[in-house]
A and B are shown apart, each in its own frame.
Chain A
Amino acid sequence: MSIIMPRTDRRSRENSITRSIFMLVAGMLLTSMFLTSCAIPLAYHDTTTYKNLTDLKAETMMLFETFDTKPYASNEAALVDLALKFRKAYEYEKGKGIANSKTMQQFHEIQKLLNADVADYQENKSAKLGPKYFSEAAVVLGQAFDIAIATENLKNKDKH
């Protein structure tokens, strides 16, 4: 004996099955996306980080461009000031935690460049590296900051 369901019941049952399948697929997709994006969590765009990076880029480049012509002693105070600003910006990024690890890595990379140039400058290596070396090193530092600034701009702005 076959069971014949009324048309409205059948439609309701079909809707229910469709809904369940859709929820399941969407759930799997969401889980997949969540795992992909959150294996290493990503911080959202931060206007303070953006400002810190653009300010540091301008100050660093202007100071380093003088290395070819000015002795270390005349820039020592400015270098101490820059180091403090860089440290403050780094501590701000560090305070955001693991979600901000990518930006912290970029700060580390930029600091490597910066420290190497300051060490060369302090050791007065201009003759060894060339009369325009530090001007060009300043350009490279600017490019490094540009990448970090672009990275910050790539982050999503709408926090839920």
Chain B
Amino acid sequence: MSKFTDFIDGFKDETSTLAKDELKELILSAKKDKSEFVRLQAVNVEHWTTMLAAGQLTPAGFKRLVTKMDVLTDLETIELDVAAKASAQRLADGIQKHIIDGLCNLL
């Protein structure tokens, strides 16, 4: 068992507001995700939880760090958008160069 799961399992939650198994499964599956970004965020959450358990972060500090994941997600969304546009731009440039300027001139 990792420190993360130990901490989650040891959490006293008399009102059952924390779905411990779902949370552990969420992090576990995110760590295996094909997206490097998703894997990194899962590692972040696991690491911060361990720091919270060790007293290196307060609950307020933990919450603040988790909130920062929103900004990282916004940045990642922009990156994905740029990647898609760059691909479209490469294709358009390639069609212009090889088909319009090249092949079509030979027809």
Contacts and interface: CB of A to CB of B under 8 A. Distances in A.
Interface of A: 15, 18-19, 22-23, 26-27, 29-30, 33-34, 36-37, 40, 42, 102, 105-106, 109-110, 112-113, 120, 128-133, 136-137, 140, 143-144, 147-148, 150-151, 154-156, 158, 160
Contact of B58 (A15, A37, A128): A128
A136 B83 contact: no
A29 B14 CA distance: 61
Contact of B92 (A37, A112, A158): A37
Contacts of A132: 51, 56-57
B34 to A, nearest CB: 16
Nearest to B51: A132
A131 B61 CA distance: 9
A26 B99 contact: yes
A104 B93 CA distance: 24
Contacts of A18: 107
Contacts, number: 126
The DSSP consensus for interface residues of chain A is helix
A109 B104 contact: no
B92 A30 contact: yes
Given A19-B104, A136-B48, A147-B75, A156 B89 contact: yes
Contacts of B97: 160
29 contacts: A22-B107, A23-B100, A26-B95, A26-B99, A26-B100, A27-B100, A30-B96, A33-B91, A33-B92, A33-B95, A34-B92, A36-B88, A36-B92, A42-B85, A102-B82, A105-B74, A113-B68, A120-B64, A129-B61, A130-B56, A130-B58, A132-B56, A132-B57, A133-B57, A136-B65, A140-B72, A144-B72, A147-B76, A151-B79
B40 interface: yes
B86 interface: yes
B61 A154 contact: no
A151 B51 contact: no
B70 to A, nearest CB: 10
B23 to A, nearest CB: 20
